[in-house]
Amino acid sequence: MNLAEARTGFYNETMTTRRAAFVYDSVLEQYPYPEGHPFNTTRAKKARDLAESMGWLSGPGIQEVPPEPVDRLTLKKFHTAQYIRSLKNAADGKWDSHALAMGIGSADCPVFSGLYEHATLATGASVKGAHMILNGEVDVAFNPSGGFHHAFPELAAGFCYLNDTVLACMVFAEAGKRVLYLDVDVHAGDGVTYAFKDRNDVMTISLHENPKILFPGTGFEHEIGEGPGKGYCVNVPLPVGTYDLVYVNVFESLVIPLIKSFNPDVFVLEFGADALAGDPLAHLQLTNNTYADVINHLLHFEKPILMTGGGGYHVGNTVRAWALGWSILCGMDDGIDLSMGMGGVMMESTEWHGGLRDRELIIPETQRISVSSAINKTVETVKSLVFPIHGL
């Protein structure tokens, strides 16, 4: 047993033989958001199919696992009974003004056929992955249909109805595990921050675009938690135009030291892909190589990882990012992009023929200067507010 195994008690495999679960059910595709809505549920299926075509859903230690709908008792650990009832009633055609006051039926969170079934099954997939890790069945798990980090106890927001990420973190925390929740979605993980803002057994770290110009309008540097949770809520707003090099520098200078200090038992990674260049709802310029770097950094700690999907509104870019992330997570990535040259045939896209990994972007000098200046101020502010609490 290595040091990581001794500390967590449920990480049993080496990095090259880690056990992995891809949590997915095609039933989820039977309940699409309304036509024209930015949230496209086919992303998960396309990522799954791409992974299957590469042989990444089978083999030693790898399994594809169907989820079960989350039960009401589990939902009530975060969501109110009134909210759950209103969500179910709205899905059954009994929508009213009280539901709208909770965000149900808004432009962002419309009522549609199968809404409740989709939300409970997608949430159940993250809960399923958490239990599999906790029970020692797998070391890593990925639910591409999850990542609904904007849902609050009694509020649907930002395309999110039920907060699977909060409930997954609770599964681990209730078992006495220290949880590091990392959110790389371009939008701040406000619902998760709210859930754990006064706790120190779950550290939440969110790297996102400047909330002055992007939903949800929260997630500033000074939002660091309260009471016992002060310093365990970390928000890192990023300027427009943030690119790979500065993002990785921020991750290595802020996130890595905090992980080492907090010493979590398990990671929960919200893998929203809307920080990628070209996303229609955001303004950052990352390539999926940065996401690969982040996942590899986490794997070096040799702790279990539950990864979920999230945002990502350029479907092709999101699918490639999630497939690449899964290949790294499950140990099938050896640094050689075997998908090179597949181009539009297997990627269902003609925009980039270089395989799963994005091409390197050329960043103008003016952008480098402006982004670096803003990033440096953010890093220093976060360090001054949070690092002393952790003895850093």
CATH class of 3-390: alpha beta
For position 379, what pLDDT does the model report? 97
Report residue 355 CA to chain centroid gap: 23
Residue 274, class by beta-carbon neighbours within 10 Å (0-12 exposed, 13-18 middle, 19+ buried)? buried
Instruction: Using DSSP, state whether 270 is helix, strand or coil.
Output: strand
pLDDT tens readout for residues 265-274: 999 999 999 9
Determine whether 150 is an active site residue: yes
Rounded Cα distance, 67 and 124, in Å: 6
Question: What is the rounded distance in angstroms from the CA atom of residue 57 to the CA atom of residue 65?
Answer: 10
Edge-to-edge order in the sheet of strand 62-65: 62-65, 20-23, 140-143, 305-308, 266-270, 179-183, 202-209, 233-238
Question: Quick one: pLDDT at residue 321?
Answer: 97
- In this predicted structure, what is the pLDDT of residue 335? 60
What is the secondary structure of 328-340 as a DSSP string? HHTT---S--TTT
Structure tokens at 77: 């650990």
373, exposed or middle or buried, with CB in 10 Å at 0-12, 13-18, 19+? Answer: exposed
Q: What is the pLDDT of residue 336?
A: 54
Closest CA to 288 of 252, 326, 258: 326
Provide block-wise average pLDDT over 10 residues at a time, the chain (392 residues): 34 60 95 95 96 93 97 98 97 95 97 96 98 98 98 98 98 98 98 98 98 97 98 98 98 98 98 98 97 98 98 97 97 62 41 73 96 96 98 97
From CA 374, how far away is CA 368, in angstroms rounded?
10
Assigned token pair, 211: 């909330």
Contacts with 358 (C-beta within 8 Å, 6 or more apart), sequence order: 276, 277, 287, 288, 289, 317, 320, 352
Q: What is the pLDDT of residue 334?
A: 63
Segment 352-375, tens digit of pLDDT: 445 799 999 999 999 999 999 999
Q: Domain residue spans in the chain?
A: 3-390
The pLDDT, as a whole number, for residue 354 is: 53
What are the backbone angles phi and psi of residue 326, rounded to the nearest 5°?
-65, -40
Question: Contact at 8 Å (CB) between 167 and 70?
Answer: yes
For 64, 217, 235, 254, 258, the CA distances from 206, given in Å and listed in that order, are 29, 13, 5, 11, 12
List, in order, residues 6 or more apart from 263 with CB less than 8 Å away: 7, 178
Six token digits for residue 2:
């290595």
CA-closest candidate to residue 126, choices 145, 153, 150, 154: 145
In this structure, how many other beta carbons lie within 10 angstroms of the beta carbon of residue 2? 10
Catalytic residue among 79, 118, 149, 150: 150
Give the separation between CA 37 and CA 338, rounded to whole angstroms.
Answer: 33
d(CA 234, CA 240): 19
Predicted confidence at residue 3, as pLDDT, reads 29
Q: Rounded CA gap, 116 and 241, in Å?
A: 37
Residues above pLDDT 70, as percent of the chain: 91
Q: CB pairs under 8 A, 24+ apart, for 298-302?
A: 298/182, 298/267, 298/269, 299/15, 299/328, 299/329, 301/4, 301/259, 301/264, 301/267, 302/2, 302/4, 302/11, 302/15
Q: Tokens 């990522």 correspond to what residue?
A: 47
Distance CA 193, CA 149 (A): 9
What is the C-alpha to C-alpha distance for residues 75 and 82, in angstroms, rounded to an integer?
Answer: 11
